[in-house]
Chains A and B, each alone.
Chain A
Amino acid sequence: MAPPPSAGAAADAAFRVERSTRASRIFMASGIVALIVLATLPYWAGSGTTRLVAEMAYYLALAQFWNLLAGYAGLVSVGQQAFVGLGGYALFVLCSAYGFHPYAGIAAAGVFAALMALPIAFFVFRLRGAHFAVGTWVVAEACQLTISQFKSVGAGSGYSLTPAIVRMVAPDRAGRDMIFYWLSLAIAIAALALVYGLLRSRVGLALTAIRDSEPASRSIGVDSFRAKLMTFVVVAFCTGLTGGLIFLQKLRISPQAGFSLQDWTVVVIFMVVIGGIGTIEGPIIGLLIYFVLRELLADYGTWYLIVMGLVAVLFMLYARDGIWGWVNSRFRLQLFPVGRRFVRTTERDSGPPRD
């Protein structure tokens, strides 16, 4: 059988598949500079700034994880606080009762959250779409209420890490602040690297396909259930790990703080929606906007939440892809190149090279 005529023309022109863009290469270089500046921050900035940037760092991680779940795998969870709380409690119990070193406790917190994600998935994966969202919320509430029943972990009022455990991290407060800062920064960078690496992999291709159209992705052989389950468990692991780190910094955990919908899910969702859901760059922008708003409106009670909520609603109504979506559609900018572009390498054909 003769090849169709267009195939011959395509063979004459040589194509190359490119992943990085000029913007992404510039960004990568400036990112390394920024990283050096951030890594040395505790040495030249005040302790207040250091603590704020540490908080931003772990929120960036949480935002990336939620975005991976909701923006790519289509699993809109309103119950990620379950994994933050479970991770936090796992760390506290393992360090207090089983003599774990806090660093080992952080790792174990992730493992524990991932193990719990399996039975949780058994229930919530039976629910579709928006019902899945509320289902995850119910599970988080159930976790909070269950932990409140255990007197050994302080029941409803919570409990603290003993000074002996805290001193295992560093003997004084200034030293601990530095270590917590670097751990938070490390988790943020690891989150970016993980999401970036995952999205460039085979699984990432499946997830991106599911994001764009689940029925279409299934018709070309993507095992969407498997990809979703895997993402759910991986995100649970990472969120639990982050939860362990967060509560190691806070030194005290209670069911209300550990499983706070507002702290661990609401603000994270607002960040991702405003910045741009389904992109790696979006949550970074949303994070910056959230912290600027929070600092500006710090004296006005919960107004920053009302403002963030309204802004998020307006974005969902009028600019679904968020700020980064707008930037991307206008300037075709990709700082974390996860797609593939065809670049024509021969000059023979007329017309400019196209993406």
Chain B
Amino acid sequence: MEWLSIVVQGCLLGGLYALFAIGLSLIFGIMRLVNIAHGDLITLAAFVALIAADWLGLYPLATLIIVIPVMFALGYALQRGVLNRTLGESILPPLLVTFGMSIVIQNALLEIFGADTRRLVVGSLETASIALPGGLYVGVFPLVIFLVAVGVIAALQLLFYRTDLGRAFRATSDDAVTVELMGADNRHLYGLAMAIALTVTAIAGVFLAVRTNFDPSIGPSRLIYAFEAVIIGGLGNMWGTLIGAVILGIAQSIGAAIKPDLQILAGHVAFLIVLGLRPNGLFPRTRD
């Protein structure tokens, strides 16, 4: 029963990792861009939530009404102003520009907020849990995060397969040049894609801020979890990304149960095993 509990906790942890990973997966799927600054943008969203909660006195989860528009606008501006210039044949510019951005965001946050660890407190919701038959307890908040992750993916699937914008996204993903000939404005589409990705990042950042301690230096490891989830799940497959995140969460949870400082390493080992056995991940849809 104890092991079942560990697996369930890991599964729910996977919900948070899925929220980290969706933005990364989306951006790669549409414009073949791997955003190295993704983890630092999650941290940035967490700090925006912190400011909103401190200055406006908002309830931590209510900061989403501020954080989402801020990140959406930032995403569009970032893509139109900076990242669109990097797209092309060579992989170096997007990689190194986002890498540089990552270092700049991380150190700017460090200069502004200092190295202290922070947390948003939501009171009773944090400790609330549901008792399941068999003596199993499930935290309400982790469950909420997991359900939000599922909801976000479902909403994105609807956007991709049921709307004109989604069709345009899928078309640019398949053949960016031809879509331009059909009259689409790729620069605008990419801007919207990054804005949507950072909207998910905003949700991830707020939940991260409530669920765990955070400080300016945690971005890179969030990027790594997101990346591992995407690769385990297979490129271009959102539901695959969720499964990848759940596998990563369970691996980390089992590692932590064996010995607390094995948590992260166990996740890396699970990632390397999948990479060794299935180079394209478990459920690949697109090839890079």
Contacts and interface: CB of A to CB of B under 8 A. Distances in A.
B268 A78 contact: no
Given A309-B100, A309-B107, 8 more contacts: A129-B95, A134-B227, A142-B265, A142-B269, A145-B264, A269-B96, A310-B100, A316-B93
Interface in B2-59: 33-34, 36
Contacts of B94: 130
B240 to A, nearest CB: 15
Contact of B261 (A123, A148, A310, A313): A148
Contacts of A262: 103
Interface string A290-311: 0000000000011101101110
Interface stretch (B68-76, B84-92, B165-173, B186-194): B84-92
Interface stretch (B126-134, B151-159, B196-204, B271-279): B271-279
A317 B91 contact: no
Interface centre among A127, A270, A316, A317 (most CB of B within 10 A): A316
A317 B95 contact: no
A39 B78 CA distance: 48
24 contacts: A76-B96, A78-B36, A122-B276, A127-B275, A127-B279, A129-B34, A129-B91, A129-B95, A133-B34, A141-B264, A141-B268, A148-B261, A149-B262, A262-B103, A269-B96, A301-B111, A303-B107, A305-B103, A305-B104, A309-B100, A309-B107, A312-B100, A313-B82, A313-B100
A238 B95 CA distance: 24
A135 interface: yes
B264 to A, nearest CB: 6
B85 A131 contact: no
Interface centre among B96, B99, B227 (most CB of A within 10 A): B96
Contacts of B96: 76, 269, 273, 312-313, 316
Interface centre among A156, A301, A309 (most CB of B within 10 A): A309
B103 A309 contact: yes
A303 to B, nearest CB: 7
A270 B95 contact: no
Given A76-B91, A127-B231, A316-B97, A134 B82 contact: no
Nearest to A133: B95
Nearest to B24: A134
The interface residues of chain B, by DSSP majority, are classed as: helix
Contact of B275 (A135, A309, A310): A135
A266 B103 contact: yes
B228 interface: yes
Interface residues of B, number: 42
A126 B279 contact: yes
A306 to B, nearest CB: 5
Interface in B171-223: 220-221, 223
B122 interface: no
A138 B108 contact: no
A317 B288 contact: no
Interface in A122-179: 122-123, 126-131, 133-135, 137-139, 141-142, 145-146, 148-149, 156
A261 interface: yes
Given A142-B268, A313-B97, A316-B92, A305 B107 contact: yes
A146 B99 CA distance: 25
B261 A316 contact: no
A149 B261 CA distance: 8
A252 interface: no
A316 B90 CA distance: 11
Contacts of A133: 34, 36, 95, 99
B110 interface: yes
Contacts of A316: 86, 92-93, 96-97, 100
B101 interface: yes
A310 B272 contact: no
B224 interface: yes
B38 to A, nearest CB: 10
A317 B265 contact: no
Nearest to A128: B288
Contact of A138 (B33, B103, B268, B279): B268
Contacts of B220: 137, 261
A122 B272 CA distance: 10
B213 to A, nearest CB: 19
B58 to A, nearest CB: 29
A149 B264 CA distance: 12
A138 B227 contact: yes
A306 B104 contact: yes
B231 A309 contact: no
B224 A141 contact: yes
